[in-house]
Amino acid sequence: MAITPDVTRRAFLKGSGALIVSFGAAPFVSASALAQGPFDTRPSQIDPKRLDSWIAVAADGTITARTGKCELGQGIYTAQIQLVAEELSVPIDRVRLIQCDTALAPDQGTTSGSQSTPVNFNDRNLALAAATAREALVRLASERLGVPVDQLVAVDGTVRVKSDASQVVKYGELIEGKTLNIPLSTTAKRKPHREWTVLGTSVPRLDIAAMVTGQFEFVHNVRVPGMLHGRMVRPTAVGATVAAVDEASVKDVPGVVRVVVKKDLVGVVAEKQWQAIEAASKLKVTWTPGIPLPDQRTFYDHLRTQKPSRDAFVVNSNDVDAALANAATVLKATYLHPYQMHGSIGASCAVADVRDGKATIWSPTQSAYPVRNGVALLLGLPPERVQVIFTRGAGCYGINGADTVSYDAALLSQAAGRPVRVQLSRQDEMAWENYGFAYVIDQRVGLAADGTIVAWDHEAWLPSMGGRPGSDRPGNVITGALAGYDPNVVEARAATIPTGGFNNGSNAAPSYVTGCVGNRCGGTGKVKSERILTHTVRSPFFTGPLRSPSRLQNTFAHECFMDELAAHVKADPVAYRLRHLSDPRILEVVRAAAKSAGWDARPSPRPGLSRTGIARGRGIACVLYEGDNGYCAMVADVDVDQATGHIRVRRFVIGHDCGPMSNPGGVRNQLEGGALQGLSRALGEEVTWDDRRVTSIDWRTYRSLPVGFDVPTIECTLIDRVDGEAMGAGETSITLTAAALGNAVFDATGARLREVPFTPERVKRALDARKL
């Protein structure tokens, strides 16, 4: 099956209406009208406890599944269809999937954090619903055929007697005139992995044929009758507010329908897109000067001194100072990471139709229900009068402009009284998005006389403002803030001893510590003396999750510092890691990557360093992503041109374990893309600013690696851990690239890179500073 133009939004809606008729509408309505939705959102009318909210079986045997986890380019659309097809024993072309539509799909919060696989592919939610449906159909067949359920089997859209294939009944025949009006079973059994025939195989993505032929409907392609085009006029400086808007300045621009001003939010609406662009560029807006920005050259030092500071321990064994005092050697280093941006290839776009006291939003958001609530707040409508229909945009990698442009479209449509499509400009997107966190990380480690790590002390500073808006903070993104809603800002809080278990969701703790909180130890390593302290301070720019948020920055610091420790004690970096790790699964991915890479066991740097020429080296890094969501190790082989400081990666070798894989080909696609996106971020990406405004506002001023560069080969060793929990695979490899790369450069040259990005100038400076 491929997604064809007729299986797009409208057909889905039309089709699903017919498909659910046999069930009646009642089961969809959550009669209890929950006081609050499951993700701090306002209640959904789709009750997640009812089977019919997830799965419908039509009279013709077609399965319609509904999910709150949506395709963002990561392949989850196809994988969820595989899951439903597998559990219900139907071919994949018999399954339709409705994603993240607040009128049709259950509220599963945000599609983020590599959580779609853990949440929907284990024993809850979509997987549980599909298993519940299969068991219900088998029970119906048992009544129909007069045969006990344990003698029946579901095969190819039918239920038949195991010993007699002639006694068979189709799903459609079982459903006809009946309803599956039942709750999700808590005891429904997933199909055992050994019986999988569809799930766990590399089914090709169902959407690629439509995409490569230009047939696929992105949100940018949504066209609604009577639709106008909107463009935004963003402030000229950070913190600038509207002093005056001269509407007469665009009165001669053809096609202009309306200038919209809502506090500091300014936009124009015109009949045609080009007219809106012209009007946006010609509209005279007088802005206040804004706020002076901290000097970028001293920004990392600035972060250390900021108050208020929200402080938190991930873990604190309370003996670190003593352990460091008694250590044979104490090593220290500081690692720096800049703000980076999502930099979606497509500037964000949304379409809104706000009329007659209700709103429909076609949005590329990862957060359909939260956006519904945010739009309701901005428009002054009850949430049940707002429908958000997820419609794919460009890859987002976290909170790009998707939510903010959805708000823009809603507000402009409300003002114009007609449907409005808003396309952000490249500068709108890049100057005002929620950047990935900058970081300053101090590492301090004590070593015993034999080189064993005895204490690990980690202290980090990061700036934060805004974030995902959730249900009630539209000011967490630029549009809401301009419209008068406050963003979340950091308030002072002292660090307290953590309770409630070890949570390494931000990978603030290195893999080498025990992670003991209370009486339980959740870490993957052996170092018992551990203190992990984070200071969150106020950011002048909006921030938010960017693929592997905080995990990447922390892991860069941990894995490079681990390499420094190994080098100090003249140990092989792989052997030194293995010596301090305890979790068998992280040990296995490290060994797998090293073996596949033909790792040459010896200390770094390589022997016989020279100050000139091309230097070749290898580096390794590893992580248990988010502390519980995917094991990964990566070896990077690099060449460093010591004359120019240019780094060329020849090869990445990845060892990976994310439990039972839904689609190994999809896992590879994610690992490859993550490794190279990580490479682009490690080599060149950095948000820049002057005293008033962001200056990285297009692809000349924010440098991304292009499709054509010296692309390394990428080899993946995938461990299919069939008896484990299914975990995410979308953010594992990217977490390791900068660290593996920095370690490889050290191995090649003896120069240690402690600041991302590794620009040629910065590499050259590190090379020049060597004492060779």
Partner 1 sequence: MSTIALTINGRRHTVDVDPATPLLYVLADELALRGPKFGCGLGQCGSCTVLHGGRAIRSCVTAVGTVGNADITTLEGLGSIEKPHPIQQAFIDEQAAQCGFCLSGVILTAKAFLDQNPNATDAQIQQAMSTVLCRCFGNVRMLRAVRKYADGRRAGGGRE
2 binds partner 1 (CB under 8 A): yes
CA distance 285 to 237: 12
Task: Find the binder of partner 1 among 44, 67, 117, 344 (CB under 8 A).
Answer: 344
CA distance 1 to 93: 5
**361 and 388 in contact (C-beta within 8 Å)?**
yes
Nearer to partner 1, 491 or 698 (CB): 698
207 binds partner 1 (CB under 8 A): yes
Nearer to partner 1, 99 or 443 (CB): 99
Q: Which stretch binds partner 1 (CB under 8 A): 204-212, 456-464, 549-557, 581-589?
A: 204-212
Nearer to partner 1, 5 or 17 (CB): 5
Burial code (b: 16+ CB inside 10 Å, e: under 16) for 219-234 equals bbbbebeebbbbbbbb
CA distance 653 to 673: 13
325: CB partners within 8 A, 6+ apart: none
Nearest distance from C-beta of residue 733 to partner 1, angstroms? 10
CA distance 636 to 34: 51
Nearer to partner 1, 52 or 685 (CB): 685
709 binds partner 1 (CB under 8 A): yes
Task: Find the binder of partner 1 among 288, 334, 704, 759 (CB under 8 A).
Answer: 704
194 binds partner 1 (CB under 8 A): no
**671 and 714 in contact (C-beta within 8 Å)?**
yes
Task: Find the binder of partner 1 among 118, 395, 446, 515 (CB under 8 A).
Answer: 395
Q: Which stretch binds partner 1 (CB under 8 A): 262-270, 607-615, 635-643, 704-712?
A: 704-712
Nearer to partner 1, 590 or 635 (CB): 635
List the one residue out of 314, 737, 734 whose CA is nearest residue 523. 314
Task: Fill in the DSSP letter of residue 277.
Answer: H
214 binds partner 1 (CB under 8 A): yes
672 binds partner 1 (CB under 8 A): yes
Q: Which stretch binds partner 1 (CB under 8 A): 239-247, 393-401, 458-466, 572-580?
A: 393-401
List the one residue out of 599, 655, 600 whose CA is nearest residue 622. 655
CA distance 118 to 568: 39
Task: Fill in the DSSP letter of residue 250.
Answer: G
Q: Which stretch binds partner 1 (CB under 8 A): 140-148, 274-282, 296-304, 409-417?
A: 274-282
Nearest distance from C-beta of residue 262 to partner 1, angstroms? 25
Alpha helices (H) in 176-272, listed in sequence order: 208-212
CA distances from 530 to 278, 314, 462, 511 (A): 58, 10, 20, 11
Nearer to partner 1, 348 or 524 (CB): 348
At 533, the amino acid letter reads L
Helix-helix angle 402-416:368-379, to 10 degrees: 40
Largest CA distance in the chain: 85
Within 10 A of 170 (CB to CB), how many other CB atoms are there?
Answer: 18
617: β partners: 638
Task: Find the binder of partner 1 among 20, 56, 65, 210 (CB under 8 A).
Answer: 210
CA distance 1 to 95: 9
72 binds partner 1 (CB under 8 A): yes
Structure tokens that stand for 229 in this block: 């085009």
73 binds partner 1 (CB under 8 A): yes
Task: Find the binder of partner 1 among 13, 153, 705, 718 (CB under 8 A).
Answer: 705
205 binds partner 1 (CB under 8 A): yes
Nearer to partner 1, 254 or 289 (CB): 254
H or E element that contains 624: strand 614-624
Nearer to partner 1, 43 or 712 (CB): 712
- Beta-sheet strands, E only, within 658-700: none
93 binds partner 1 (CB under 8 A): no
Task: Find the binder of partner 1 among 16, 414, 506, 677 (CB under 8 A).
Answer: 677
Task: Find the binder of partner 1 among 349, 615, 638, 745 (CB under 8 A).
Answer: 349
Nearer to partner 1, 688 or 713 (CB): 713
362 binds partner 1 (CB under 8 A): no
Task: Find the binder of partner 1 among 397, 461, 512, 541 (CB under 8 A).
Answer: 397
DSSP string over 483-535:
TTPPPPB---B------SS---TT--S-TTB--EETTEE--SB-B-EEEEEEE
Structure tokens that stand for 249 in this block: 């300045």
Within 10 A of 255 (CB to CB), how many other CB atoms are there?
Answer: 17
Question: Which residues, 647 to 666, sit near partner 1 by CB under 8 A?
Answer: 665
Nearer to partner 1, 241 or 274 (CB): 274
Count of residues in contact with partner 1, rule CB under 8 A: 67
209 binds partner 1 (CB under 8 A): yes
456: β partners: 445, 530
282 binds partner 1 (CB under 8 A): no
* Residue with tokens 């639709």, as numbered in its chain: 227
Q: Which stretch binds partner 1 (CB under 8 A): 138-146, 256-264, 387-395, 461-469?
A: 387-395
**61 and 157 in contact (C-beta within 8 Å)?**
yes
Q: Which stretch binds partner 1 (CB under 8 A): 221-229, 328-336, 515-523, 614-622?
A: 221-229
Task: Find the binder of partner 1 among 423, 471, 553, 749 (CB under 8 A).
Answer: 423
Nearest distance from C-beta of residue 697 to partner 1, angstroms? 10
CA distance 116 to 366: 11
Structure tokens that stand for 117 in this block: 């696989």
CA distance 556 to 304: 19
At 766, the amino acid letter reads A
Strands 631-641 and 646-657, sheet pairing: antiparallel
List the one residue out of 703, 755, 760 whose CA is nearest residue 338. 755
Task: Fill in the DSSP letter of residue 264.
Answer: T
Nearest distance from C-beta of residue 110 to partner 1, angstroms? 17
Task: Fill in the DSSP letter of residue 694.
Answer: B
* Residue with tokens 């709108």, as numbered in its chain: 428
713 binds partner 1 (CB under 8 A): yes
Nearest distance from C-beta of residue 740 to partner 1, angstroms? 16
Task: Find the binder of partner 1 among 36, 213, 610, 688 (CB under 8 A).
Answer: 213
Task: Find the binder of partner 1 among 218, 261, 587, 606 (CB under 8 A).
Answer: 218
77 binds partner 1 (CB under 8 A): no
Structure tokens that stand for 103 in this block: 């009128």
Nearest distance from C-beta of residue 619 to partner 1, angstroms? 20
Nearest distance from C-beta of residue 304 to partner 1, angstroms? 32
The pattern of x and - marking residues 300 through 339 that bind partner 1 according to CB under 8 A reads ----------------------------------------
Task: Find the binder of partner 1 among 1, 153, 182, 211 (CB under 8 A).
Answer: 211
508: CB partners within 8 A, 6+ apart: 314, 458, 460, 532, 534, 550, 554
Q: Which stretch binds partner 1 (CB under 8 A): 177-185, 220-228, 456-464, 608-616?
A: 220-228
281 binds partner 1 (CB under 8 A): no
Nearest distance from C-beta of residue 664 to partner 1, angstroms? 12
Give contact residues for partner 1 (rule: CB under 8 A): 2, 4, 72-75, 204-205, 207-218, 220-221, 223, 229, 254, 272-275, 277, 343-347, 349, 392-395, 397, 423, 425-426, 665, 669, 672-677, 679-680, 698-700, 704-711, 713-714
